[in-house]
Structures are given as structure tokens and as C-alpha cells.
Structure 1
Amino acid sequence: MKIDPALLEFAKSMRHTATDAEHFIWQILRAKRFMNLKFRRQHVIKPYIVDFYCHEIGLVIEVDGGQHGTDDAIEYDAERTKYLEALGLKVVRYWNHDVLGRTDVVLEHLWSVCTELKNTSL
């Protein structure tokens, strides 16, 4: 399936404008540093661009700022999650302030999700 070059270009530009929380979590996930899993950032899963994606275990990680708290965004995110889950993917969401302020809790949760997915994909 051919991906729209404009979507790829937009994903690439998003990599350069990451939030502090996205940048922070990428430093943990990149280069197989987390559980030896390969993550991609700003990855296109047509028609969406997800923050982080691990193909091996079918995991999408979204790191959300305050703009995701509006009614429209909540509805859009729910629709998007439903679409991704219909593809067989697991979607987890973390708030920016939790990634930066409660890192241990976020990483503990992420570790348990990845462990569960690794065990079910064996």
C-alpha cells in the first residue's frame, strides 16, 4: 500500500517539533533501549501518524498534551483508537505531565503492557 508522500513529509517534520515529553520518552525507547524492542516515532499508519510504534508487539504509544482534553479531541482520539485497535494494535496514551512528572509510573505501566504483549505474541 503506497503512503501519501505528503503524509510522510508531515510525519518527518513532526519528528523535528517533538514536545519535551515526546523527546524525553524517545530517549528511553530509541535504539532498542526499552526491553530490546524497536520503536519508530511519528510513524504513519494510514490515515494517521502515531507518536511511537512497535511493530513486533503491535503497540502504539501516544503522548498527549492539554489540547487532547477538549471534547473534539477526545472524540477524534477515541475514533482513531478504535481504528487502530481494529487493525489489531494496542494503543496506550500518556499525558505529557505524567511522562515528565511521574516517569516511574508511566514506565512501569509501559513495561507491563509490553511484557503482556510480548507473551501473547509468542
Structure 2
Amino acid sequence: MVWYGLCRRQLGGFCFRRQHPIERFVLNFYCSEAKPAIELDGGQHNEPDSKVRDKERTDFLAVCDIEVLRFWNNEVLSNLEAVLQQIYGALLNRAVQPVPSPPNLPPP
């Protein structure tokens, strides 16, 4: 469901990849322009061991300047629109704004 909201640049024109590898991790969804990783979690991610692994993964990705956005599967199923809005907000916050070229100034 999330993929259909992200594919074909439907969310603000941002390009996403599915199952994108970064080092030893495979991200559910990733946008190289704004660098968010979208992770969808089932109940197994509430287990203590999974929480530790998820934190290690999030910390590693933060060093790579990748922000991890996590959503529970039931969030996606019950309120997809709100999930996509949160993703879009994060994209806008992280998108690199182009730096305008300096005006052509005459030499001093």
C-alpha cells in the first residue's frame, strides 16, 4: 500500500526505491534526494532483541545522514493517508534546497 503512494514520483515528485541496500542493511523504501528510509514494522519489532537491532540500524543510518521513519503495519492499514503525509513532511524538511547562483558582479 505504501509503495503505491511512493512509486512513480507520486509524492511531491520524489523518487523512491524499494528494498534498497545500504551497507549490511536493506531499507524497505529509500529516497536518495532527501535521504529518508521508510521502515514498516510488524509486531516482531516490539520484541526486546528486535528493538536493539532496530536502534543499531537507526544509529548506523544516522551516521550516513539517513533519517529513519518507522511506521507500524497497523498504522498503514488503518490510516495510509496520514502515513503518506508524515513521509511528505519529512521529505520537505530534508530536501536539499538549491543554492542560487551569485549575481554576475563587475570586477572591482
Fold equivalence (TM over 0.5): yes
User: How far apart are the structure 2 equivalents of 1:33 and 1:104?
Assistant: 13
Q: SS state of the match for residue 94, structure 1? A: strand
Note the 1:1-122 alignment, pairs <5 A.
24-118=1-95, 121-122=96-97
User: Which protein has the bigger helix share?
Assistant: 1
Name the amino acid aligned to 2:11. Answer: F
User: How far apart are the structure 1 equivalents of 2:88 and 2:23?
Assistant: 27
Residue 55 of structure 1, CA deviation: 0.3
Residue 104 of structure 1, CA deviation: 2.4
User: How far apart are the structure 2 equivalents of 1:95 and 1:31?
Assistant: 23
Name the amino acid aligned to 1:39. Answer: F
Larger relative contact order (C-alpha < 8 A, sep ≥ 6)?
2
Cα offsets for 1:52-98 (capped at 9, x unmatched): 00001111100111111100000000000000000111110000000
The structure number with the bigger radius of gyration is 2
User: How far apart are the structure 2 equivalents of 1:79 and 1:27?
Assistant: 29
Stretches of structure 1 that go unaligned for 5 or more consecutive residues are: 1-23
Stretches of structure 2 that go unaligned for 5 or more consecutive residues are: 98-108
Name the amino acid aligned to 1:69. Answer: N
Cα offsets for 1:12-38 (capped at 9, x unmatched): xxxxxxxxxxxx100110111111111
Contact 2:5 2:84 in 1 (8 A): no
TM-score (normalised: structure 1): 0.77
How many residue pairs end up in the alignment?
A: 97
TM-score (normalised: structure 2): 0.86
**RMSD between aligned residues:** 0.8
